[in-house]
Amino acid sequence: MAETKEFREQGKEMVEYIAGYIDTIEKRPPLAQVEPGYLSKLIPNAAPQKPDKWEDIMKDVEKVIMPGVTHWHSPHFHAYFPTGNSFPAILGDMLSDVIGCIGFTWIASPACTELETIVMDWLGKAVGLPEEFLAEGNGKGGGVIQGTASEATLVAFLAAKMKRIRKELESQPDKDQYDILPKLVAYTSDQAHSSVMRASLIASIRMRSLPSDEENALRGNVLQKAIEEDKAKGLIPFFVCATLGTTAFCAFDNLTELGQICEKENIWMHVDAAYAGTAFLCPEFRYLLKGVKYATSFNFNPHKWMRINFDCSAMWVKDEDDLVHAFHVDPSYLKHKHQGAVKDFRHWQIPLGRRFRSLKLWFVLRMMGIEKLQEHVRKQVQLAHDFEKLVLSDSRFEIVGSVILGLVCFRLKESNEINEKLLKEINNSGKIHLVHSTEKETYFLRFAVCASSTEQKHVQYAWKIIQELTNSILNGIPPSN
């Protein structure tokens, strides 16, 4: 395809296909019903030498691709956490794709850098972050869009490492960074996402996983005890990752307690609010953000719950120099005349290149507005509470943990094996999709309100399926097809 005439025709057809897909998505099984290796039996083992016809490609989308798709935007998808989607975000990504800039420096595409700076300030204000995290004014803070929360955690971890090494070398000029590295130690909760521990593996720095309390939160007394133990061993505590909205339970670490200790001990506190951060658009949920003033960096994923397509992970720091000093490599071919007077986001991230991701954030904020996004959050939280009531109405089940946002953790009051069997039958049914987690050797199911199209009827339908399968399992009768 070389001409805009063909693109217009095929583009219109693709838009129609996309709209039709969204309109009929709940008719598809939410979990792909294929076996590993299915695709290799349906497509050739080498690329075509000459162009295939557009019509044949579109036929293969349904015949070959869609059977192997797990439909995350189906109202019957209740696994993991939400992943964002909206037509404004899709339009923004279309424009980003056609512009096709690689915005590693300001001069590489000034609008790419400046729009990101501005909309990250918009978003920071909208979720109630302290002014120190904003780029406007005379402060040194600001926001940047990373690919994922995993990247944001790693960036914060590496920046904290270099900041502490620089500080230690000030008082120990006869040492180098490789003398300091083996002594560094970081902390997180046993409820933290696996990406936090992976950051320590990538950096080859020890990290301690600290026990959470009965509410699955990391508390200050536990952190203080660990710090004192490690300092007595000659180690150097330098980083704490606190979580707001943990993966297993959507639990919340005590930022105030942790933050006061980090401030006293001169430790970088990073806050991972990947899922829960979108809820802070609503003032009634900002009590969960209490203590964020102590954070050095903060991150959440608009691509989870804020109707923005993957990837768009929002990260803020109070001092941009912490990132720039950690990642600054300045070859001559990247220098430009405005260097030093403007932001060059290549110094704020691990890769060099970056997409024009702020466009889709800008489109969503302008076309939907904060009020529509607040309505979306409140509706999904209410649907989670509706499901919670259904679970509590059946004495065979129990709630595990607290229902705060859009996640309900529950289980049968039976053995782990029975609960595991229930989940297997749920997913084998092809009607709804859930996943599980475990805590202290207790197996439980997670029901997340995910798709923006989820309504009360879908919650009730899911509960109906769960009850039917439960009846079959507890009565020893195999579920019917």
Question: From start to end of 123-250, where are the E strands?
Answer: 142-146, 184-189, 206-210, 236-243
Per-residue model confidence (pLDDT) at position 343? 84
CB within 8 Å of 304: residues ≥ 6 apart: 81, 82, 83, 84, 274, 275, 278
Q: What is the mean pLDDT of residues 468-480?
A: 79
Count other C-beta atoms under 10 Å from residue 87's C-beta.
16
CB 432 within 8 A of CB 78: yes
Tens-digit pLDDT profile for residues 155-208: 999 999 999 999 999 888 888 888 899 999 999 999 999 999 999 999 999 999
pLDDT at 243 over 50: yes
Per-residue pLDDT tens over the stretch 199-229 = 999 999 999 999 999 999 999 999 999 999 9
φ, ψ (nearest 5 deg) of residue 274:
-45, -55
Q: How far is CA 150 from CA 189, 195, 311, 393, 464, in A?
A: 16, 5, 12, 38, 36
The pLDDT of residue 1: 53
The closest alpha carbon to 216, from 195, 184, 233, 192, belongs to 192
How far apart are the C-alpha atoms of 247 and 446, rounded to whole Å?
10
The one-letter code for the residue type at 307 is R
pLDDT digits (tens, 9 = 90+) for 64-80: 999 999 999 999 999 99
pTM of the model: 0.93
Cβ count within 10 A of residue 68: 13
Share of the chain above pLDDT 70, in %: 98
Task: Tell me how far apart the alpha carbons of residues 106 and 100 are, in angstroms, rounded to a whole number.
Answer: 15
Tell me, what's the pLDDT at 481? 47
pLDDT at 176: 87
Question: What distance in Å separates the CA atoms of residue 358 and residue 92, rounded to the nearest whole number?
Answer: 8
Reference 246, options 440, 452, 401; nearest CA is: 401
Contact indicator for 363, 91 with CB cutoff of 8 Å: yes
pLDDT tier for residue 134 given thresholds of 50, 70 and 90: very high
pLDDT of residue 331: 83
**Which H or E element spans position 182?**
none
Confidence band of 479 (pLDDT split at 50, 70, 90): low
For the chain, percent helix, then strand, then coil, each to nearest 5? 50, 15, 35
Q: Which of 9-13, 94-98, 101-105, 113-117 has the lowest mean pLDDT?
A: 101-105
313-317 and 268-272 strand pairing: unpaired
pLDDT per residue as tens digits for the range 345-393:
888 888 888 999 999 999 999 999 999 999 999 999 999 999 999 999 9
- Helix 220-232 vs helix 255-265: crossing angle, to nearest 10: 30
CA angle at 182 for the pair 178 and 183, rounded to the nearest 5°: 115
Q: Which long-range contacts (CB under 8 A, 24 or more apart) does 344-347 make?
A: 344/104, 344/105, 344/106, 344/113, 345/103, 345/104, 345/105, 345/113, 345/116, 345/144, 346/104, 346/105, 347/323
Q: What pLDDT, on the 0 to 100 scale, is given for residue 327?
A: 86
Cβ atoms 302, 84 nearer than 8 A: yes
What confidence tens digit (pLDDT) does each residue in 85-99 have? 999 999 999 999 999
Q: Is the pLDDT of residue 478 over 60?
A: no
- The whole-angstrom separation of Cα 59 and Cα 24 is 17
pLDDT per residue as tens digits for the range 404-434: 999 999 999 999 999 999 999 999 999 999 9
CA distance 228 to 237: 9
| pLDDT for the residue numbered 400 | 95
Gyration radius of the chain's alpha carbons: 24
The torsion defined by the Cα of 161, 165, 167 and 172, in degrees rounded to 10, comes to 160
| Two structure tokens written together for 127 | 């979720």
- Residue 104 has, within 13 A of its CA and on its CB side, a CA count of 16
DSSP secondary structure of 267-317: -EEEEE-TTGGGGGGSGGGGGGGTTGGG-SEEEE-HHHHSS--S--EEEEE
What single string gives the DSSP state of each residue in 223-242? HHHHHHHHHHTT-EEEEEEE
**In sequence order, what are the beta bridge partners of 240?**
187, 269
